[in-house]
Structure 1
Amino acid sequence: MLYVTLVILAGFLTAMQSPINAGLSRTVGVLESSFVSFAGGALFLGLAMLFFGRGHIWRLTEAPSWQWIGGILGATMVLSSIIAVPRIGVLATALAMIFGNLLMAAIIDNYGWFGVPVTPFGWHRLLGFVLVLAGLALVFRR
Structure 2
Amino acid sequence: MVGILFALMGGAFITLQGVANSRISQDIGTWQAATITQFTGFVLAFLLLLIVRDGLWRRVGHVKPLYLTSGALAAFIISSNITAIHYVGVTLTIAVVLIAQLSVIFIIDSRGWFGVAKQKMELAQFIGIGMMIAGVVIMKM
Q: Residue 93 of structure 1: CA displacement?
A: 0.5
Q: Does 1:128 align with 2:122?
A: no
- What is the CA deviation profile of residues 5-48 of structure 1, one whole-angstrom value per residue up to 9, with x for unaligned ones? 11011101111111110100111111000000010000000000
Alpha-carbon distance between aligned partners in 2 of 1:48 and 1:72, rounded to the nearest angstrom: 20
Question: 2:70, 2:53 → 1: CA distance?
Answer: 18
State the identity as a percent: 23
Deviation per residue, 1:73-95 (Å, 9 max, x gap) = 22211110111112100011001
Report the counterpart of residue 4 of structure 2 in structure 1.
4
Specify whether residues 112 and 53 from structure 1 end up closer, same or farther in structure 2 by C-alpha distance, changes over 3 A only.
farther
Q: Shift of the alpha carbon at 1:71?
A: 0.8
Aligned partners of 1:49 and 1:124: how far apart in 2? 40
Counterpart of 1:63 in structure 2 is 63
Q: State the partner residue of 2:37.
A: 37
Where do 5+ consecutive residues of structure 2 fail to align? Answer: none
Q: Distance in 1 between matches of 2:126 and 2:37?
A: 35
Unaligned stretches of 5+ in structure 1? Answer: none
Q: Could you say which residue in structure 1 is the equivalent of 2:47?
A: 47
Q: Which residue identity lines up with residue 6 of structure 1 in the other structure?
A: F
Aligned to 1:98: 98
One-letter amino acid matched to 2:49 = M
Counterpart of 2:117 in 1: which secondary structure?
coil
Mapped partners of 1:93, 1:40: distance in 2: 23
User: For residue 22 of structure 1, what is the aligned residue in structure 2?
Assistant: 22
Moved over 3 A (4+): none
User: 1:102-129: CA deviations, max 9, x gaps?
Assistant: 0011111111111111111110111011
Query: When the two structures are aligned, how many residues end up with a matched partner?
Result: 141
After TM superposition, the structure 1 stretch with the greater mean CA deviation from structure 2, 93-102 or 132-141, is 132-141
Secondary structure of 1:81's aligned partner: helix
C-alpha distance in 2 between matches for 1:99 and 1:30: 23
Secondary structure in 2 aligned to 1:120? coil
